[in-house]
Amino acid sequence: MAHIVAKKALAKLAETCYRSTHFTKQEVEGLLHVFRDLQTSKKGKDEMKMDRATFREVLHYTFAMTDDILMDRVFRGFDQDNDSYVSAQEWVQGLSVFLRGTMEEKMKYCFEVYDLNSDGYISREEMFSMLKNTLAKQPTEEDPDEGIKDLVEITLKKMDHDHDSRLSYSDYKTSVETEPLLLEVFGPCLPAAKQVHAFTATFSDTCTDYY
Amino acid sequence: MQLLNMSLQHISKEVRLTPAAVNSEVKLLQSFSGDDRDKTVLKSIQYTSDYEFNNGCRAPPWRQVHGDICYVVIKPHDTDLLSVSASTAGVYINGGFEKENFSDLKHDREGEIYKDLVTLLKEKSAVFAENIAKQDFTLREDETTGNQYDIMDSGDEGDGDNTHRTNEDAKKDSKEPQKADKQKSNLKKTGKDRTPRKQPQPSLKWKNLGLGEEADEKKEEKDQIREGSAGKKEKKKVTVQESKGRVHPVIKGRKSKTPAQDQEDTFSESSTESEEEEESPDRRQEANSDLPSEYWQIQKLVKYLKGGNQTATIIALCSMRDFNLTQETCQLAIRDVGGLEVLINLLDTEEIKCKIGSLKILKEISHNAQIRRAIADLGGLQTMVKILKSPDKDLKCLAAETIANVAKFRRARRTVRQHGGIKKLVGLLDCGPLGSVPMTPEVEKDIEVARCGALALWSCSKSTKNKQAIRKAGGIPLLARLLKSSHENMLIPVVGTLQECASEQSYRLAIRTEGMIEDLVTNLRSENQVLQMHCASAIFKCAEEKETRDLVRQYGGLDPLVSLLDKSDNKELLAAATGAIWKCAISPENVERFQELKAIEKLVSLLQHQPEEVLVNVVGALGECAQEPQNRMSIRKAGGIPPLVNLLTGTNQSLLVNVTKAVGACATETENMTIIDRLDGVRLLWSLLKNQNPEVQASAAWAICPCIENAKDAGEMVRSFVGGLELIVSLLKSEHKEVLASVCAAIANIAKDEENLAVITDHGVVPMLAKLTNTTDDKLRRHLAEAIARCCMWGNNRVAFGEANAVAPLVRYLKSPDESVHRATAQALFQLSRDPENCITMHNAGVVKLLLDMVGSTDEALQEAAAGCIGNIRRLALANEKAKYP
């Protein structure tokens, strides 16, 4: 009985929010099922909220993300009301960008992720902390951070169009529009095509053949 | 070093002297010999025998069994005459000759075996050793290097076609500096080699490079070590090293070393060519101390590529793209700091973004020929071929575009094919319907993928085997579909591929049957000259076939072709358009249309101030048009005869073939002939009989025929050519059927003049014609029979033909399926039958029955000749009977 009620609740929720996403109603329902399953397998509660740890597990196992800083940032990106939980609605909204977002949406999302202190700019320091694990440590180097600093400078040179030593959204947007590879310039925060496909298959049957 | 020495010894055991090596050495020494004791190394050096066998040996066959190659008599400045045997084991002093007449050679070996002549002479002659060490003798031969690069270039694109020149030229340009480098490195090697048995080089450079060696020996040792570690397996280098040793060791026993190995290696196939290409710039980089700042920046980026994770890699890739990758400094810098390896390795990863970034760079820098080779050497093509089946369309596009750039040389094209690339590329062509409405981004991407696939196929289609592979992979119908596109950037690679492949008969058929001619014709009217050019050259190649020519006309393709003749500033386009006109003009219906379009006048105006490739086609077209009497007049009126005759003095073989044909066609008109005669055109034609190329010979002889027919005082004119008659008769010895047929036709015309007939009879025309009678070629048979018929008119030539056994074979000609052969043969037999002996031969060969059938022919000339011949035979029989029963 409870099962049917829950199902109805889900359908109702789907009805309300599918229009603001890139999903069909059925897909939203599917996503909500996935959301609930992830919850129940975790705690056995029927609460429609996902905590940070669970979400990070999803990011790690389903979308192959590893960077701690960025995973936290992605969580913050999903958790729009900053209550430290991803609600069912936030889940669907977030995945809409995550899986099907337009370039514009993805740029906005990525910029928010990279803007660690949410001040509207990506500063040198923020870049440094995001890039610090990108280079293999070379024992011969006197200053192990030299390479990272250099990478930051390279990035600034390439993307800082107004020369204020930090990246505004417009700097970032201009750069990505000319070179789409720069979308995830400070680390992976979007799933790769392969994982998108694999995940889509779990909640939708509309996906086309990937291979 | 020890290892190196061991491997050296090992290799030197294997190497033996070859005839080529000995020959080149002797030749070189010859060029350095003379009377001047100070300036030359030897007085003289010569072979004992001038005869060279097919295998390059000069020793008699029974000595070749013992490994002997040749015998040389050497006269040094200081010692006695040396008689030397060169055998595969090495060279040694032999027992010398019994007498002075070189008849009896004592083959016994006296003394040790040396590895080559130079070593031997160093031991035997002090002056030789001294002078060769000085290396200060005058050089008698010109420099011959440089040629090999041309050969290599042509080999590189040998299987391609001569169109599509923009790329080719660009490529050559970029090769220029390299060539210089290569030459430099070659000189260096020669210098180190320090003996004169390499190709002759200017002595000045020897001094600089060769003698400098003695001074800084240490540096050289370093070189040795480097070279040794770099390529122990390469004989070439080993040779250099060994001969670099200061004292030439006498190699005992069968150990021997050939200097020509060296030469063979440098001259040999493409594999070494590419190795060399990479060697030289490397050295340059080392030598050049002030490298551009880009070099260091790129080096840093490559470091991040190597040591960074995906994020750092992407940043480095994007930053690298900010350099001017069209600049050679940057291109080579990427290679020299090991960037290519990393970029190609990235293609093997799972990261799509890294692959895209890497390919974007590879696509740019692969415009450079050296980079192309490096990419191929590093196995980049294999990986890119694999990427072609990736689900990511951007990636597919980039991979195909990069393949299009890299596959500009043969080895790369072969690699693409061998790894199944052609099939995958053809697969890319299969995009959705081109004109689908609405055009979704998805479909657009598919079309872009197809375009990139076509680009890559275009590059690949320069190899014959790839053409076949494209066809087998089902590429033709897909290309046909893409040909319906309305976008130039799609059409150019598609038409480019098609015109490249149209050299194959199967493609020409397919292009016609798949209805592509219509599209080609449509695109002739395009605004884009490159596209027009490719369409025109596709038609040029396809119009070899009659059906295609008709289709071009039916689709209205002749008009745009003619209007392209006005684009006289674009020579490539002009060459393609005139070529298409030439081939289309083979059909008389097309010629009619050309007449209406006033093409003749336009063509005539293109006879001057044009490059040869245009001229060949223009003249070819005029030659075809001139088959129509009216056009012959038009050519004259447009003033075309003088420039045509003028072109007879050219050297381009294919041009000469066409010019002679055109002049010949024009000469069938008496008025034209007057002009040709006045311009001394017949003499020019006649001198072309001396051309090396049998096609030119034949074409010239064909052209001479109408000239003799239509010239006033033809007999006198022909006689005025000194040695002319002898020359044409001597061509009857040619091995080419076409030459023989044409010369027979010319002789038949020459023989119309009695005096000339007498002269050619003196030159032995009768036995030579008789010798040819056994041919089965109908064209030759016809003209041969005509010539025989004419030549019978002089002296006792009839009898002579009979004695030379020419009669019986002629009878067999009557069984040929060709009517014109019958006529000429019957006429010849009629002439021959005036000699009773010939009548008997003919009768025995069963001529009567065959001739009786011919009497019933509708061809009057044939009837008459057959009847005449039978009459002669009959009269002889009657006379015989009368004699028997008086």
Domain limits at A143?
103-184
B10-19 residue pLDDT tens: 555 555 677 7
Contacts A151 to B, Cβ<8 Å: 304, 308, 312, 315-316
- The token duo for B489 is 């950037």
Whether the CB of B349 is below 8 Å from some CB of chain A: the reply is no
- Taking any CB pair shorter than 8 Å as contact, residues of chain A touching chain B are 131, 133-136, 138, 147, 150-151, 154-155, 157-158, 179, 181-182, 184-188, 192-193, 210-211
Q: Are residues A65 and A110 in the same domain?
A: no
Kindly determine whether residue B312 and residue A135, on different chains, have CB atoms separated by under 8 Å: yes
pLDDT of residue B13: 52
**Phi and psi, residue B92, nearest 5°:** -150, 160
Residue A145 sits in a domain of what CATH number?
A: 1.10.238.10
- The token duo for B211 is 């003698």
Kindly determine whether residue B309 and residue A157, on different chains, have CB atoms separated by under 8 Å: no
More confident residue, A139 or A124: A124
Burial of B799 (0-12, 13-18, 19+ CB in 10 A): middle
- Shortest Cα–Cα distance, A192 to chain B (Å): 8
A34 pLDDT higher than 50: yes
Gyration radius of chain A over CA positions: 19
pLDDT of residue B417: 93
Parallel, antiparallel or unpaired: strands B82-87 and B90-97:
antiparallel
Which residues is B73 bridged to in the sheet?
Answer: B46, B83
Cis preceding linkage at B438, omega within 30 = yes
Q: Are residues A119 and A92 in the same domain?
A: no
pLDDT of residue B214: 43
B105-146 residue pLDDT tens: 666 776 677 777 777 777 777 766 666 666 544 444 444 444
pLDDT of residue B46: 78
Q: Which helix (H) or strand (E) holds B593?
A: helix B588-596
Q: How far apart are CA B463 and CA B471, in angstroms?
A: 13
Q: Are residues A95 and A198 in the same domain?
A: yes
Which residues is B68 bridged to in the sheet?
Answer: B87
| 3-state secondary structure string across B629-670 | HHHHHHHHHCCCHHHHHHHCCCCCHHHHHHHHHHHHHHCCCH
The region of weakest confidence among A177-181, B25-29, B516-520 is B25-29
Contacts A210 to B, Cβ<8 Å: 391
DSSP assignment of B388-444: TT-S-HHHHHHHHHHHHHHTTSHHHHHHHHHTTHHHHHHHHT--S-TT-SS--HHHH
In a domain, A161, yes or no: yes
Q: Which helix (H) or strand (E) holds B69?
A: strand B68-75
Contacts B315 to A, Cβ<8 Å: 131, 151, 154-155, 158, 185
DSSP assignment of B92-140: EEEEEESSTTS--EEEEEEEEEESSHHHHHHHH-HHHHHHHHHT-PPP-
In a domain, A211, yes or no: no
pLDDT of residue B451: 93
- Let me know how long chain A is: 211
Name the residue among A134, A158, A210 with its Cβ closest to that of B312. Answer: A134
Q: How far apart are CA B392 and CA B383, in angstroms?
A: 15
In a domain, A143, yes or no: yes
In a domain, A210, yes or no: no
Q: Are residues A87 and A114 in the same domain?
A: no
Kindly determine whether residue A211 and residue B322, on different chains, have CB atoms separated by under 8 Å: no
SS3 B88: coil
Whether the CB of B315 is below 8 Å from some CB of chain A: the reply is yes
pLDDT of residue B178: 47
How many domains does chain A divide into?
2
- In sign, the C-alpha dihedral spanning B103, B104, B110, B116 is positive
B239-255 residue pLDDT tens: 444 444 344 444 444 43
ipTM value: 0.89
pLDDT of residue B266: 35
Neighbours of B250 (CB within 10 A): 16
- pLDDT band of residue B493 (cuts 50, 70, 90) is very high
Contacts B308 to A, Cβ<8 Å: 134-136, 151
Q: Are residues A20 and A89 in the same domain?
A: yes
- pLDDT band of residue B166 (cuts 50, 70, 90) is very low
Kindly determine whether residue B315 and residue A185, on different chains, have CB atoms separated by under 8 Å: yes
Q: Are residues A199 and A96 in the same domain?
A: yes
B411-439 residue pLDDT tens: 999 999 999 999 999 999 988 777 666 77
- Shortest Cα–Cα distance, A194 to chain B (Å): 10
Q: How far apart are CA A91 and CA A86, in angstroms?
A: 6
In a domain, A197, yes or no: yes
- In sign, the C-alpha dihedral spanning B436, B441, B446, B450 is positive
Q: How far apart are CA B519 and CA A194, in angstroms?
A: 41
Q: How far apart are CA B467 and CA B416, in angstroms?
A: 12
**Chain A, chain B: beta-carbon pairs less than 8 Å apart:** 64
Q: Which range has the top average pLDDT, A19-33, A36-50, B763-777?
A: B763-777
B636 pLDDT higher than 80: yes
Least CA distance to A67: which residue of chain B? B311
The region of weakest confidence among A6-15, A186-195, B182-191, B669-678 is B182-191
- The token duo for A158 is 């390439």
Mean pLDDT confidence for A176-191:
90
Q: How far apart are CA B402 and CA B455, in angstroms?
A: 9
Burial of B643 (0-12, 13-18, 19+ CB in 10 A): buried
Q: Are residues A64 and A148 in the same domain?
A: no
Name the residue among B307, B308, B392 with its Cβ closest to that of A193. Answer: B392
Query: Quick check: B801 and B770 in contact, CB under 8 A?
Result: yes
Task: Determine the straight-line distance between the first and last CA of chain A, rounded to whole angstroms.
Answer: 41
Whether the CB of B321 is below 8 Å from some CB of chain A: the reply is yes
Q: How far apart are CA B34 and CA B513, in angstroms?
A: 70
Q: How far apart are CA A92 and CA A20, in angstroms?
A: 10
B760-800 residue pLDDT tens: 888 988 889 988 988 888 899 999 999 998 898 888 888 88
Kindly determine whether residue A181 and residue B319, on different chains, have CB atoms separated by under 8 Å: no
pLDDT of residue B101: 53
- pLDDT band of residue A46 (cuts 50, 70, 90) is low
Kindly determine whether residue B314 and residue A185, on different chains, have CB atoms separated by under 8 Å: yes
Q: How far apart are CA B416 and CA B410, in angstroms?
A: 10
Helices B629-637, B670-678: axis angle to 10 degrees equals: 40
B570-599 residue pLDDT tens: 889 999 999 999 999 999 999 989 988 888
B376 pLDDT higher than 90: yes
What's CA B417's distance to the chain center, in Å? 24
B448-462 residue pLDDT tens: 999 999 999 999 999
A63 pLDDT higher than 60: yes
Q: Are residues A23 and A92 in the same domain?
A: yes
Q: How far apart are CA B74 and CA B84, in angstroms?
A: 8
Q: Are residues A165 and A120 in the same domain?
A: yes
More confident residue, B68 or A30: A30
What's CA B280's distance to the chain center, in Å? 28
Whether the CB of B432 is below 8 Å from some CB of chain A: the reply is no
Query: Quick check: B536 and B576 in contact, CB under 8 A?
Result: yes
Query: Quick check: B479 and B461 in contact, CB under 8 A?
Result: no
B851 pLDDT higher than 90: no
Q: Are residues A93 and A177 in the same domain?
A: no
Mean pLDDT confidence for B157-179:
44
Distances from the Cα of B240 to the Cα of B201, B246, B265, B430, angstroms? 16, 12, 12, 54
Q: Are residues A12 and A80 in the same domain?
A: yes
pTM tops 0.95: no
Q: How far apart are CA A48 and CA A80, in angstroms?
A: 15
Q: How far apart are CA B417 and CA B419, in angstroms?
A: 5
- Shortest Cα–Cα distance, B343 to chain A (Å): 16
Tell me what the pLDDT averaged over chain B comes to.
78
In a domain, A174, yes or no: yes
Q: How far apart are CA A150 and CA A163, in angstroms?
A: 17
B479-492 residue pLDDT tens: 999 998 888 889 99
B384 pLDDT higher than 80: yes
High-pLDDT (> 70) share of chain B, %: 76
B43-65 residue pLDDT tens: 777 777 777 777 777 777 667 77
In a domain, A123, yes or no: yes
B8 pLDDT higher than 60: no
Which is nearest to B385 in space by CA: B358, B429, B418, B352? B418
Q: How far apart are CA B581 and CA B549, in angstroms?
A: 10
Q: How far apart are CA B187 and CA B439, in angstroms?
A: 61
Contacts A186 to B, Cβ<8 Å: 311
Q: Are residues A61 and A127 in the same domain?
A: no
- Shortest Cα–Cα distance, B307 to chain A (Å): 5
Kindly determine whether residue B391 and residue A210, on different chains, have CB atoms separated by under 8 Å: yes
Q: How far apart are CA B471 and CA B479, in angstroms?
A: 10
pLDDT of residue A198: 86
Q: How far apart are CA B708 and CA A117, in angstroms?
A: 100
pLDDT of residue B168: 44
Q: How far apart are CA B544 and CA B797, in angstroms?
A: 44
Whether the CB of B356 is below 8 Å from some CB of chain A: the reply is yes
Kindly determine whether residue B309 and residue A134, on different chains, have CB atoms separated by under 8 Å: yes
Q: Which range has the top average pLDDT, B55-69, B200-214, B355-369, B828-842?
A: B355-369
pLDDT of residue A197: 85
More confident residue, B164 or A156: A156
- The token duo for B526 is 């395009």
Find which of B300, B306, B311, B442 to mutate to test the A interface (most A CBs within 10 Å of its CB): B311
Q: How far apart are CA B315 and CA A182, in angstroms?
A: 7
Name the residue among B303, B312, B318 with its Cβ closest to that of A182. Answer: B318
Mean pLDDT confidence for A91-115:
90
Query: Quick check: A128 and B289 in contact, CB under 8 A?
Result: no
- The token duo for B452 is 């990139």
Which is nearest to A154 in space by CA: A136, A135, A169? A135
Query: Quick check: B523 and B532 in contact, CB under 8 A?
Result: yes
Strands (E), chain A: 49-51, 85-87, 121-122, 167-168
B805 pLDDT higher than 50: yes
- Shortest Cα–Cα distance, A115 to chain B (Å): 16
In a domain, A209, yes or no: no
More confident residue, B501 or B274: B501
Contacts of A22 (CB under 8 A, 6+ apart): A96, A99, A100, A101
- Shortest Cα–Cα distance, A188 to chain B (Å): 7
Whether the CB of B874 is below 8 Å from some CB of chain A: the reply is no
Name the residue among A151, A179, A182 with its Cβ closest to that of B304. Answer: A151
Whether the CB of B391 is below 8 Å from some CB of chain A: the reply is yes
